[in-house]
Structure 1
Amino acid sequence: MGVIKVTNIRAHAHHGCLDEESIIGSEYRVDITLRTDLKKASISDNLIDTVDYVHINHIVKEEMNIPSKLLEHVANRIIDRVFLELTTVDKIKVSVSKINPPIGGDVEMVTVVLSSKRS
């Protein structure tokens, strides 16, 4: 087994419960950690034998472009897509962070973290 991390995928998206958030949008950060078998790829040196980081980034960008009220919903959609499209992934942890959230204080970001394993 092995771990692949894709860190600080940045996106401008329109998530949130406030009307302004759906109109103006905000900056977001997504971090993904997935567990998969990397033994074959470590020997073959062939992209087909691992999880393609480009594919992970593509899933995140597409799901971030679909407006949601809650970051939890976005994170869950990303997890569902990864399990659907990347069949070798056994476990995943997704963190979705809203940068400078409109919560009436000086807060760098809020983050929702969801983890799941293939059933």
Structure 2
Amino acid sequence: MSNAKVLPLLEPDGRSVAPCCPPLTERPLNAEEAETAARMFKALGDPVRLRLFSAVASHEGGEACVCDISDVGVSQPTVSHHLKKLKEAGLLTSERRGTWVYYRVEPSVLAAMGQLLTKASSPAA
């Protein structure tokens, strides 16, 4: 078993959910872990969603106004649809400030995704 800490993902409303997931090389995922991981990867499986997620994650301060990330080659309603899908997958949180909505990728989400794809460490001998 790995000593790596399994980090939580977030519900669309920002609440923590069950941790996701051990490194894929540690052991086979159970059904719940596989469902959580699949939800993340499915959301990121669309090029526009991946670009939006990247735009938010790489934006100064780790947060971006929808007005700053909408230039991805699709209409504003389509951008909103994709952002909603990323929120539903627990990858983004949002906050309305006046007329604008600001999106954030929680550091725990990036850590959990990275952990899933990291080779499990060997136990100390």
Q: TM-score normalized by structure 1?
A: 0.25
Name the one with the larger helix percent: 2
Q: TM-score normalized by structure 2?
A: 0.25
